[in-house]
Amino acid sequence: MASHLSPLEPDDFRQRAAELLAPLYGARSEEVLRRLLRLIEAQGAGLRHRHGARQTLWSEQDQWLIVYGDSLLDADKPPLAVLDEFLSKRLKTVFSGVHVLPFFPWSSDDGFSVIHYREVDPKLGDWRDIRRLASHHDLMVDLVLNHVSRESLWFADYLGGNLPGRDYFIEMDPDTDLSEVVRPRSSPLLVPVSTRRGVRHLWATFSEDQIDLNFANPDVLIEFVGILLFYLQQGARIVRLDAVAFLWKRPGTRCIHLPETHAVVRLLRAVVDHVAPGTLIITETNVPHAENISYFGLERQDTPPDEAHLVYQFPLPPLLLHTLTSGEAGTLARWLDSLPELPAGCSYLNFTASHDGIGVRPLEGWLEGHEIDALVSLMQRFGGFVSMRRQADGSDSPYELNITWFDAMSGTRRGPDPWQVERFLLSQHLMLVLKGIPGVYLHCLTATQNDHDGVERSGRLRSINRKRWDRQELEPLLDSRHTPTREVFFALTRRLEIRRREPCFHPDAAQTVIPTPPELLAIQRGPLDDGRRLLAIHNVTDRPQPLVLDGLDQSGWQDLLEGGAWRPVDTLAPYRSLWLVRTDR
């Protein structure tokens, strides 16, 4: 069951890199390969030794926290140091890894418009703080490689016509037909920029401050391989490729998921497999499921998967939101049942909330348009917002829901009700059961409510779910009785502690959806080699439900949550879940 490491030896790496570079850069590919090998020789030394003790890619103990570097504030202390203290005090035995969202100097989008890739934002701390976090946890860092800030030195070079940035960006005639380009935003695709050569129009997928980089220029690729190696030297073990689906541009195409983009992902994977085996690559592609899992590289059946180790399970949050607001788990069950069996070395990052909104596009093909509209309207009723994207015909359609996950659990289609905490916790418990590695956003742990003041201050809808907690505010909420913050924090961390001790939750353990009425969702994990298996049963409604499990032998199960033998019951309380284990040998 374990996914073992597969180091890429020097000759194999050279051959794979040559094969990947040839279609990207043609006649220049041999020159690019020589530069790549020199860079790795200079900066990759010692990385393999650092990761050499790890024998497998992951285990049931892998659970990751998602957090901004300044999500926790405490007077004048560096926020990264505050985060490390909080993890040590409150979550020491809960999370194996931590994803610190972009901690570099930035100009917009809360870090995803990077000014300096090799610096830590001094308002957060410095590289010593990052290395300290990496010494205590598996550290995930963002490689923001699709675009860069207008305030970067590269962009200043471009404006002045100086190397290296002069050729780092994509100029485009504004009369070019770009109608086929898939858009994640409703802003203009081309941004006019005044340069010494006059006004030029540059490609900007996400905003006028986030200018796309030109990977057709091999200098850009070499630059980012150097940045990747630098992050590994600072202790990163997991590398998140931000917005990677849009990386390569070719007018006349959709400019998303192009073969060249997949080739760049495979090259970066080859680099880490060569210099630091055990490093994980995860792609961030908020798109329909079939497109999302294309980043495993499963279509090449004659070779093992050689792209991402993990992809985000993007359909899960909106489908789970639909399930718990409608009270029917049939759609979610059908989707789970449709998931392909993944080969060794591939897995999912499961999550309900992140720093971004809840994506709507992954619902395509699973919910009817009127059901999506109903979900959008309900989230607005619960205090959320909707971000739009531009369609090819010029119209706008919902792209993501902006709301905290806790407030998204305020009620059902009938409106708010008293079951918010129970419904919220069930959403987390269900996510924790699924095959893959769970990622928990800090604001799920703290039951954070919509930050409308943050939206007003920043002018950005996503700020609703990016609250910065002052520890002097948060700690009393965690230590006081009868606060949702305390109730959620301790219930969820207890469940996480139980989860990481259960071998049936290994990311590679089999997953089976057990047929039930639509008000229930039952999932089996395992059986393992020793015959051990786990059955998780969830009531997704606000009413007691008959516990109907046709053909299930109800004897011999142990209650993993309460301890001791499980005594079968006739009904399952609203938003209640069971974790039952049994060894059949």
Domain boundaries, the chain: 64-144+221-505, 511-583
Give the whole-number percent of the chain exceeding pLDDT 90: 88
pLDDT the model gives residue 289: 86
Could you give the C-alpha distances from 363 to 368, 376, 433, 435, in angstroms and in order? 9, 12, 21, 20
**Residue 119's pLDDT band (boundaries 50, 70, 90)?**
very high
pLDDT the model gives residue 49: 63
pLDDT the model gives residue 51: 54
pLDDT, average across residues 379-383: 98
List Cβ neighbours of 214 (8 Å cut-off, separation of 6 or more).
Answer: 167, 168, 169, 170, 220
Please state, in angstroms and rounded to a whole number, the distance separating the CA atoms of residues 69 and 102: 8
Residue 141 and residue 224 in contact, taking contact as beta carbons nearer than 8 Å: no
Read off the pLDDT of residues 511-562 as tens digits, 9 standing for 90 and up.
999 999 999 999 999 999 999 999 999 999 999 999 987 777 778 999 999 9
pLDDT the model gives residue 50: 63
Residue 265 and residue 42 in contact, taking contact as beta carbons nearer than 8 Å: no
Residue 350 and residue 433 in contact, taking contact as beta carbons nearer than 8 Å: no
Q: Is the pLDDT of residue 52 over 60?
A: no
pLDDT the model gives residue 4: 64
Residue 571 bridge partners (DSSP): 546
CATH superfamily of 511-583: Golgi alpha-mannosidase II (2.60.40.1180)
Greater model confidence, 553 or 475: 475
Among 145-159, 349-363, 391-405, 477-491, the minimum mean pLDDT is found in 391-405
Please state, in angstroms and rounded to a whole number, the distance separating the CA atoms of residues 496 and 483: 20
User: Integer distance in angstroms from the first to the last C-alpha of the chain?
Assistant: 18
Q: Is the pLDDT of residue 384 over 70?
A: yes
pLDDT, average across residues 229-249: 97
Q: Does 511-583 match 64-144+221-505 at the fold level?
A: no
Residue 537 and residue 549 in contact, taking contact as beta carbons nearer than 8 Å: yes
Please state, in angstroms and rounded to a whole number, the distance separating the CA atoms of residues 343 and 508: 9
The pair phi, psi for residue 310, each rounded to 5°, is: -135, 150
Read off the pLDDT of residues 289-315 as tens digits, 9 standing for 90 and up.
889 999 999 877 677 889 999 999 999
For 64-144+221-505, CATH number out of 3.90.950.20, 3.10.450.50, 3.20.20.80, 3.40.1410.10 equals 3.20.20.80
Side-chain-side CA neighbours of residue 277 (13 Å): 18
Residue 546 bridge partners (DSSP): 571
pLDDT the model gives residue 262: 97
Give the whole-number percent of the chain exceeding pLDDT 70: 98
Q: Which DSSP helix (H) or strand (E) runs through 98? A: strand 97-100
> Hey, which of 44-58, 71-85, 388-402, 555-569 has the most confident mean pLDDT?
71-85
Average pLDDT, the chain: 95
Read off the pLDDT of residues 315-360 as tens digits, 9 standing for 90 and up.
999 999 999 999 999 999 999 999 999 999 999 999 999 999 999 9
At position 10, the amino acid (one-letter code) is P
Please state, in angstroms and rounded to a whole number, the distance separating the CA atoms of residues 209 and 206: 8
Tally of helices (H runs) and strands (E runs) in the chain: 18, 26
Q: Which of 345, 271, 317 is nearest to 508 (CA)?
A: 345
Q: Is the pLDDT of residue 67 over 80?
A: yes
pLDDT the model gives residue 36: 98
Please give the sequence-ordered ranges of beta strands (E in DSSP) within 3-94, or none if there are none: 64-67, 72-73
Q: Is the pLDDT of residue 6 over 80?
A: no
Cα-based angle 419, 412, 577 (whole degrees, multiple of 5): 50
**Residue 34's pLDDT band (boundaries 50, 70, 90)?**
very high
At position 218, the amino acid (one-letter code) is P
pLDDT the model gives residue 246: 97
The pTM for the full model equals 0.96
Read off the pLDDT of residues 386-443 as tens digits, 9 standing for 90 and up.
999 888 778 888 999 999 999 999 999 999 999 999 999 999 999 999 999 999 999 9
Question: Of the listed 74, 242, 356, 407, which one is catalytic?
Answer: 242
Pairing of strands 72-73, 469-470: parallel
Residue 170 and residue 246 in contact, taking contact as beta carbons nearer than 8 Å: no
Q: Is 242 a catalytic residue?
A: yes
Q: Is the pLDDT of residue 171 over 90?
A: yes
